[in-house]
Structure 1
Amino acid sequence: MINKIGKRAFAIVFSVSVLSLGACSSAPDQEDIQRVPNKSAHALYEDAKQTLDSGLYARAIELLSAIDSRYPFGPFSKQVQMDLVYAHYQSGNTEQALATIDRFIRLNPNHKDLDYMYYMRGLVNIKADKNAFQEYFGVDRADRDANRTRVAFTDLSTLVKRFPQSDYAPEAKRRLVWLLNRMARYELKVATYYYEREAYLAAANRGKFVVEHYSQSSYLNSALEMMEKSYDKLGLSELSEDAKQTRIFNSRNK
């Protein structure tokens, strides 16, 4: 069972994310690790837990990395890697967090806490995208490439499908709804860009993509409206009318 450090991912909120973005640091080098006192794995891990509990993530990373380096097969090795993921995440070290997660999944494909690692992988990719931070402050950046969002969606979908009884599944499902809307909104931003430049076929195709792939999002009717007006501009009246009638039907059956 993951200890309280692993479980603390449930308590991650925007305010913590905002603070951590200002405290980004790279992974500790060998000199940093060598400066860590020469203690037993148990003693070092106790120090690391206290440091992590205090929110001193950079120092916690040094201690955990020292344990990982000195005792790679010790009794705390798996928990150390999970705690490193959390510390890197909180410090904004998304690439280090992803590397640690991927290494853990590769070396421990049947580990009992694999659900936690997929959950954290989704959170790390969301943070890497940075849209959660920007939208928190009312900055609309849905026009950014949504690749990281798609990867996060895949991570959390994997969690829900493979581990439906996981403690992390309910939160993953809530985040999947947000990610689905994020991806749909990105496609509509691109569609609007094309429409405003009179590239009506490209705009219609983007709207169609939302209808076909993100029909469960809250942007379905907006996508149908984009198709309707784009087809109308192209003189494709039958397709325009089909999109219109589908939009009206959806509106009535919400």
Structure 2
Amino acid sequence: MWPKFSRLALLGLVAVAVQLAGCGSTPVEESPDTTAERLYKEAREDMAAGSYERAIKTLERVESLAAGSLLGQQAQLDTAYMHWRNGERTEGLAAVNRFIKLNPSSPALDYALYLRGVINFNENLGLLGKIANQDLSERDQSAARESFQSFKQLVDQFPQSRYAGDAKARMNFIINALASYEVHVARYYFRRGAYVAAAARAQQAVSEFQRSPAAEEALFLMMQSYDKLELTGLRDDAERVLRKNFPDSAFLNQGKALSARPWWRFW
């Protein structure tokens, strides 16, 4: 859905401009603002019809004609949204970042932060279809972290925003996804006998994402890795923390070996 200033006066201005244009028989010279409003109406029609590239070009003209106005700001946000819908993530991020930089006090800043978060969110978290063909230890999670930071900024600055609730839900998802990713990498190393690396990644998951469900397996991986390394003190510490925080853990109580559980069962 496109952002709308509550500010519904904006759409009212568009409607008034169209009515005035059709009312009188004597042609009048159009002002720049009227031209921008008409162009914006055309852009919205293209947006609704799925003509994203044409909408982007028209919105750029609107932004130029209505620079500094609410309509110009709306055109900037719509341009960012259209780039994203058109599969142009880099351009979408550039557009929304430019909006945030140029309009730090805009009434639509909350939406801009939300949009930036969503663009990064969708870029990085749809990995289940790709993960089988990738080396998990090399996958970049920066977009997911940037998405989290955008949502966090939104929630911190605008707790009453209409987008805050969804942002919080996405933040929780990102935390769980990042924690699961760290566990995936730790498991990847463990199965290849890289026990030091496995313990380190599992420790990172526990330290950074303590409340994530993935922390249970991370502790178990730490325990197994330290056992392979014959570091009995660290192994016992990890087991003690695991038993304290997850007393009913299937890893301990049912004796399930790491290799017996396919990676996708943890997502």
Coarse TM-score class (shorter-chain normalised): 0.7 to 0.9
Contact 1:142 1:186 in 2 (8 A): no
1:234 matched to 2:233: no
Q: 1:138–1:248: structure 2 CA closer, same or farther, 3 Å change rule? A: farther
Contact 2:205 2:215 in 1 (8 A): yes
Q: 1:174–1:253: structure 2 CA closer, same or farther, 3 Å change rule? A: farther
Give the unaligned 5+ runs of structure 2.
5-33, 250-267
- What's the CA shift string for 1:130-171, capped at 9, x where partnerless? x32x43x58656922211111111111111112111111110
Q: Secondary structure at the match of 1:6?
A: coil
TM-score (norm 2): 0.75
Count of aligned pairs: 217
Using CA pairs under 8 Å that are at least 6 residues apart, name the structure with larger relative contact order, 1 or 2.
1
Give the unaligned 5+ runs of structure 1.
8-38
CA distance in 2, matches of 1:153, 1:118: 11
- What residue in structure 1 maps to residue 187 of structure 2? 192
CA distance in 2, matches of 1:138, 1:89: 20
Correspondences of 1:43-58 after superposition (within 5 Å):
43-58=38-53
- What residue in structure 2 maps to residue 83 of structure 1? 78
Q: 1:142–1:91: structure 2 CA closer, same or farther, 3 Å change rule? A: farther
CA distance in 2, matches of 1:6, 1:231: 52
Of 95, 114, 120, 1:125 maps to 120
Quote the sequence identity (%).
36
1:66 matched to 2:46: no
- What residue in structure 2 maps to residue 22 of structure 1? none
Greater Cα radius of gyration, structure 1 or 2: 2
Contact 1:224 1:246 in 2 (8 A): yes
What residue identity is the alignment partner of 1:6?
P
- What residue in structure 2 maps to residue 164 of structure 1? 159
Q: 1:161–1:81: structure 2 CA closer, same or farther, 3 Å change rule? A: same
CA distance in 2, matches of 1:85, 1:142: 32
What residue identity is the alignment partner of 2:229?
L
Of 242, 247, 253, 1:247 maps to 242
CA distance in 1, matches of 2:216, 2:230: 21
CA distance in 1, matches of 2:232, 2:141: 32
1:5 matched to 2:14: no
CA distance in 1, matches of 2:219, 2:70: 56
TM-score (norm 1): 0.78
Q: Runs of at least 4 residues of structure 1 off by over 3 A?
A: 137-142
TM superposition shift of 1:64: 0.5
CA distance in 2, matches of 1:123, 1:204: 32
Contact 1:126 1:152 in 2 (8 A): yes
What residue identity is the alignment partner of 2:3?
G
